[in-house]
Amino acid sequence: MNKIITRKLLVFPNCNAKEKMNVDRTKIEIKNENNEIVKWEPLSDNTSIGCGINSLTFLGVFTREIGVKLTKNISFRGTSFAEIMYFLNEIGNTPQNLKEYITDVTTIEKLTDFLNILFSEIPGNTCVIAKLNRPNNILGHTIIFSKQKDGDIDKLYTIDPQIGKIWERNTVTSDEKIFNVWNKNPENRIISVSLIFVESSPNSHISPTKTKDIVFPQLKRM
């Protein structure tokens, strides 16, 4: 008899992403061990590597001290999504049985569908860790999507802790800009987005605050 497996998107509730921003929106802030707000800066002067560790530190999985140490020892290959899931299981107090799924974003229509679904389905003040994948095993890039309030209006934001920047998605024009940036270099273009899902059987318990039922078209398990 086949097991019935369900999957739910891993989310980080109450991530307060906008509160972690500086007023000029070029810096992000996090709380230190004493619960004090400190300005976020990339963990290393070399902002060309360490996107995964920076993202996990931003989400509070690592303290800044640990994040800095990890970036000093990181390989040129960076942190794989498998390693990110390992850290989340071992340190991040997240549900177990994490699996990577990817969704195709090779056309503007597919990208817009993905962002529309993500925005409409995740709760407010929630963060989602994602990896932007390139062809031919070229290094990808780990970022964070977050749904936050802009006044009384919910908006979707893209946060890149590695370089300390945040972008607001407000219109379809934003999607065109995103798509053009992601495809500026054909050999280095973004072809898919990886997300982390929690798989479970009917008898297992998954925290409803850390997962979300969500269906993306053409979702493929890695």
> What is the full DSSP assignment across 75-98?
-TT---HHHHHHHHHHTS---SSE
pLDDT at 190: 95
The helix (run of H) or strand (run of E) holding residue 7 is: strand 6-10
Identify residue 64 by its one-letter amino acid code.
R
Domain definitions of the chain by residue range? 6-221
Task: State pTM to two decimals.
Answer: 0.84
Classify the C-alpha dihedral 38-79-195-96 as positive or negative: negative
Per-position b or e across 153-182, b if 16+ CB within 10 A of its CB? eebbbbbbbbebbbbebeeeebbeebbeeb
Residues 62/68, Cβ–Cβ less than 8 Å: no
pLDDT category, 186, cuts 50, 70, 90? confident
State the chain's mean pLDDT as an integer: 81
CA distances to 21, 144, 148, 149 from 153, rounded to whole Å, are 17, 20, 8, 5
Question: Quick one: average pLDDT of 99-105?
Answer: 92
The dihedral through the CA atoms of 130, 190, 64, 23 has a sign that is negative
Q: What is the 3-state secondary structure (H, E, C) of 136-153?
A: CCCCCEEEEEEEEEECCE
Average pLDDT over residues 49-77: 86
What average pLDDT does this structure show over 155-170? 89
Identify the architecture of domain 6-221 in CATH: Alpha-Beta Complex (3.90)
- 4-17 pLDDT tens trace: 557 889 999 888 88
Binning the chain into helix, strand and coil, the percentages to the nearest 5 are: 25, 30, 45
In this structure, which amino acid lies at residue 121? E
What pLDDT does 214 receive?
64
Residue in the block written with tokens 């982390």: 196
Residues 6+ apart with CB under 8 A from 210: 10, 11, 12, 13, 94, 95, 198
The tokens of 122 are what?
A: 């995740």
Percentage with pLDDT > 90 across the chain: 35
- Rounded to whole angstroms, the Cα distance separating 127 from 55 reads 11
Contact (Cβ atoms closer than 8 angstroms) between residue 101 and residue 222:
yes
Q: What integer is the mean pLDDT of 210-214?
A: 63
Instruction: State residue 25's pLDDT score.
Output: 45
